[in-house]
Amino acid sequence: MPGKIKILDELLASKIAAGEVIERPASVLKELLENSIDAGATSITVYVTEGGKRLISVTDNGEGISKEDAPLVFFRHATSKIKTEADLDDIRTMGFRGEALSSISAVARVRLRTKRRAEVSGTSVLIEGGSAPEIIDDGCPEGTTIEVKDIFYNTPARLKFMRSGESEYGYILDVFKRTALIHPEIMFKLVHGSSRPIEAPAGSLRERIADLFGKDAAASLIEVATPFVKGCIGSHELNYATAKSVYLYVNGRPVRDKGITRALLDGYGTIIDGMRYPFVVLDMIVAPEDVDVNIHPAKNEVRFKSPRFIYDCVKAGVKGALSSARPAAPGPTVSYSASTPAWRPHAGEGPSFYEPAALIPFEFREERREAVNPEFLSLSTVGQLWGEFLIAENPSGEFYLIDQHGAAERAAFERLRKRYTESQVRRQMLLLPERFETTPEEKDAVTRSLEELSRLGFEIMDFGPSGERGGATFLIKAVPDILTARSSAGLIKDIAEELASGGGSSRAEVKIEEVLMRIACHGVIRGPRPLTKEEGNALLRELSGVDFAAHCPHGRPVVKKFLRSEIEAMFKR
C-alpha cells in the first residue's frame, strides 16, 4: 500500500511559504521598503495603482545589486545579511531571512532593475509566478527599482479575499507612514494612480509628522528623549478611539507589542480616558542581543530578554515627558466669577468658531424634568476650586464638591440618550459647512456609517475625492446642537470607526452608548473655566433630573458630599 505522505513540488511549496510573508499588497510594500532602507537609500519613491493590486513599484537610490547577485535574490533564503547562526543574535538590518523577493515572485509578476555605482550598465531580471528568471543588461540609473504586478494572479484562492482598491490602499498608506515616520532622514514619496502625491522630504521627526499628519498634529507634540526611548508623543488632547495612531518601533523596526502599549498608557495615567489612545511615535533602543526579532514571518513581533525593563523605560519616559511639558498646577484657590461673557473664542480654531462659556448649552437649561435627585434643588453655588470643581451648599449644613465637566457630561449624555432612543436628536445647520478629508480606510468607515451618523444628528455629504489623503472629501452641513460651537471632523472620524468596526446587535448597542458618551464629552466645556453663580446653579438644577448615581458616563465619580459635622470634627470643634 503506497504511503499517504507526499513531498510537495517546489513551486507549490513556494506559494505556501509566500502566504506566511505576503498577506496583501501592503505586505509587498513593507518588504520592498525594508530592502531599500537596508541598501542605504536616501530617497525612496513608491507608485501604486488600484491599491497595489495591479502594480506596486519602489525606486530607491541605494547601493544597487551586482549583475552576478541580481538573479540570486529571488531564491529562497538567499541573503547577504546573515551568514552564521550567531548572526541571529546581532541583527541590525530590517530584513535578514532572504524570503521577501522569493515569496513575492511566487505569487506575482516581478521585474527588478538595478545598477551599482561602480558598474557601466545595470541589470534587469524578470520573473513570473516562480518561473526561471530572465536576465538582460539594462541602461537603468543607479539604485534599484522593483515592479510587482498582478499580485496573486496565479493563486485564485488568495485573490478572492482581496478587498477593494481603496481599502487595500488604506493598508498601503499605513505601511508607508509607519516606515517613513521612523526614517525622517530619508526622502519618501507615494503616488497612487492619478492622485496627488504624498511627499515627505528629509528632515526632523516633527517635520515628518507634519508632512504625514498635518501641522496641527505636529504642533501638540512632546519630545521623549531618554537613553532607551526616543520619539514624540501627543498631548492629552490628541487621542483616538483605537490604537491606529500608536506607532511603536524597536531599533527602527515597526512592531506590535501589548506590553509596550500598556506601558505607554500607564505613562499617560488618567490624563486621557481609559478607552482612548494617544498619538505616539516611539522607538525603543535595545541591544540586539537583548531582543529576538525572529519570531514572526512578518517580523512585526519581538521578544525581549527583560520585558519588565522595557515596560519601566517606556512608562518612565512617557510620564517624564508629559510632566515636563505641563505647567505647574495652580494653588488651591477658591474663586467665583460674578460675570462671564456668553461667548468666547475656542482655542485652536479660526475666528469663525466659538464655544459657549456656560458649561451646559443654553437650550438644555430651558427644559424641565421631574427631579430624580431632589437634593440638588436645595443646593446653591458658592464658588469654584481651581476653576474645575464647583462648590455648593444647602441650608442643612452640607456642602458638595462637584467635578463640573463630569457632571455636565453626564447631564448631556442622559439627554442625548433619551433623544436618540426617541429619534429626536436635534441638529443645528452650520452657517459654513465644515470640510474634511479622509484616507481610504476613513472614507470606507464614514460611508458605511452615514445612516447612523444621521440618526445621531450629523448631516454629511460626499464632496468628491481627496487629493491629499487618498480617500474622499466630505462636508459637514449639520451637527447635533450640543456641538454647534466645535469643529466636528475628528469626532466624526472616531465615531465612524467605532460604528464600522463590526459586532452583533448587543455590541452595536454598546457602541452607540460609547458614541453618545463621546458626543456628550465633546459638547461640554473641558478644563478650567470660571462660571457665574447662575451657570453653577443651572448645572445643579440639571443634575437634579439625572439618575447618574454620582458618576460620569465613563464611571468616574462626579459628586462628593461633606457634612458640617465632618468639617468641624477635622478642626476638633
Strand partners, 389: 385, 403
The three cell numbers of residue 454 are: 444621521
Q: What is the pLDDT of residue 101?
A: 85
C-alpha torsion sign, points 36, 39, 44, 45 = negative
pLDDT for res 37: 92
Tell which residue, 110, 138, 134, 136, has the closest CA to residue 122.
138
Q: Tens of pLDDT along the chain (573 residues)?
A: 566 666 555 655 554 455 556 889 999 999 999 999 989 999 999 999 999 999 999 999 999 998 888 888 887 666 655 455 554 555 566 655 557 788 898 889 999 999 998 888 999 999 998 788 899 999 899 999 999 999 998 888 788 888 888 889 989 999 999 999 999 999 999 998 877 788 999 999 999 999 998 887 788 899 999 999 999 999 877 788 788 889 999 999 899 888 999 999 999 987 887 678 899 999 999 888 888 876 666 666 788 888 999 999 999 999 999 888 764 444 444 444 443 333 333 333 333 232 333 344 433 444 555 666 677 777 877 777 787 787 888 887 788 888 777 777 777 777 777 777 767 777 788 888 888 888 877 888 888 888 888 888 889 988 888 766 778 889 999 888 766 556 778 778 877 887 776 654 445 556 666 777 767 776 666 667 777 777 777 777 777 767 655 566 556 677 877 787 777 778 777
Q: Which residues pair with 240 in a beta bridge?
A: 277
8 A C-beta contact, residue 198 and residue 212: yes
Fold of the domain built from segment(s) 10-203: Heat Shock Protein 90 (3.30.565)
DSSP-assigned letters across all residues of 418-473? HHHHTT---EEEEEEEEEEE--HHHHHHHHHTHHHHHHTT-EEEEEEE-TTTSSEE
Residue extents of the structural domains in the chain:
10-203, 212-325, 329-573
| Inter-residue contact 115 to 122 (CB < 8 Å) | yes
Q: Which CATH class is domain 329-573?
A: alpha beta
The CATH number corresponding to 212-325 among 3.30.300.30, 3.40.228.10, 3.30.230.10, 2.170.190.11 equals: 3.30.230.10
Q: 466 CB contacts (<8 Å, ≥6 apart)?
A: 437, 438, 439, 443, 472, 473
